[in-house]
Amino acid sequence: MIRPYASDQLVPRAADADAHPTLLAQAQRLPSVLLNSAAATNAVMLGGGYFTPLQGYMNRADALQVAAHMHTVDGLFWPIPILNLTHDGDDGIRVGNTIALRDPNVPENPILAVQTVSHIDYLTDGDMDQLLTGIFGSLDPQHPGVQTFRSLGRRVIAGPITVLGDSYFADDYPTTYKTAVQIRHDIAEKKWESVVAFQTRNPMHRAHEELCKMALEHTNADGLLIHMLLGRLKAGDIPADVRDAAIRKMVELYFPPHSVMIAGYGFDMLYAGPREALLHAIFRQNCGCTHLIVGRDHAGVGSYYGAFDAQHIFDHQDITQALSIQIFRADHTAYSKKHAKVVMMRDVPDHQPDDFILLSGTQVRKILAEGQELPEEFARPEVAQILSDYYRKSAHQ
């Protein structure tokens, strides 16, 4: 199996089961900080080993280096700063303190992690602009990632953490949420040597299904990991439980038995396009995957990124040297009326736009909200039914 990123073994920051009760009891007596959702899901990802080899939250110097040059001060390649940003407050926290980190996404804000504070820094306006430009390639306040990042605060609390829980993810998605440690274990049990990962924050339509099958065939992989984001999305995106049900139905009916692993991870979507694609590659390598499908406008939003910017960024020599995982570069896929099957558009240069069945996300939502049926060439009927039921229920709430 492929080795973890920049490490001989995973570095999950979760507390050992034996030490957990004692650490949690001690944490109740510590000064505490209420995290924002971004910092909380960073903690969950650190706890599960997804962010190997990181041990905690970055300081200002590392964050600025990562934003500008995609490496930490010590030279570790990393595409996006992993931060605990807070608003300044009179909480008495100082460098050297051990503090409890409370979860904003669970009622009563239980303790999620314990942090040793190595640095406390403050971001200037210039720092914020450098971070936003590096991460998102934009300062536009309408960009959902920029909008969220600006709301998180300017105080940077850095230092290693020990994670004491999985937030709401294990409880809300007990059959789907898995840590990188668990996924590597499952891959080893299946004796899969090569694994293709498919990242999704959306339900999977026919084009996604066929893309995964193309990638499996092209890479000659032993199996497919469909890995869905379970954290926060932008308004209008379909909730994780609906996506989960739709994907499971598709796999059950339309993939060969035992060829697919379905899992989810506890992270909030950044909509950072190329930089986020690199982050996706790191934590899929940490899961044990040998390949990641990177498609058109991977992790993008609106028109902020070029259609294939998320593929081109992997062409940088220092990135190919840093990562062991390989990229399956996918074009836009759609149903061809001429060939009566889903194709990659680059493979059919003789086609005109009318030769494809293409629906935008807005069109799909409109069709479903109006109770109409999606074309069978676009979505499997069983998948479409799950989505239609969700939209119909939402319309009456």
CATH class of 20-170: alpha beta
Residue written as token pair 């840590």:
179
Extract the residue ranges of the chain whose pLDDT is less than 70: 396-397
Question: Catalytic: which of 154, 201, 248, 329?
Answer: 201
pTM, two decimals, is: 0.96
Question: Catalytic: which of 97, 202, 248, 365?
Answer: 202
Q: Which pLDDT score is estimated for 320?
A: 87
CATH class of 174-395: alpha beta
> Is 254 buried (19+), middle (13-18) or exposed (0-12) by CB count in 10 A?
middle
280-283 — which CB contacts under 8 Å span 24+ positions? 280/199, 281/314, 281/323, 281/325, 281/327, 282/5, 282/51, 282/78, 282/79, 282/323, 283/45, 283/50, 283/51, 283/180
Q: Which pLDDT score is estimated for 234?
A: 81
What is the domain partition of the chain in residue ranges? Answer: 20-170, 174-395
Residue 201 known to be catalytic:
yes
Same CATH topology for 20-170 and 174-395: the answer is no
What does the angle CA 332 – CA 263 – CA 207 come to, to the nearest 5 degrees? 20
What's the residue count for the chain?
A: 397
Residue 3 known to be catalytic:
no
Q: Which pLDDT score is estimated for 157?
A: 98
Residue written as token pair 């007596």:
29
Neighbours of 379 (CB within 10 A): 28
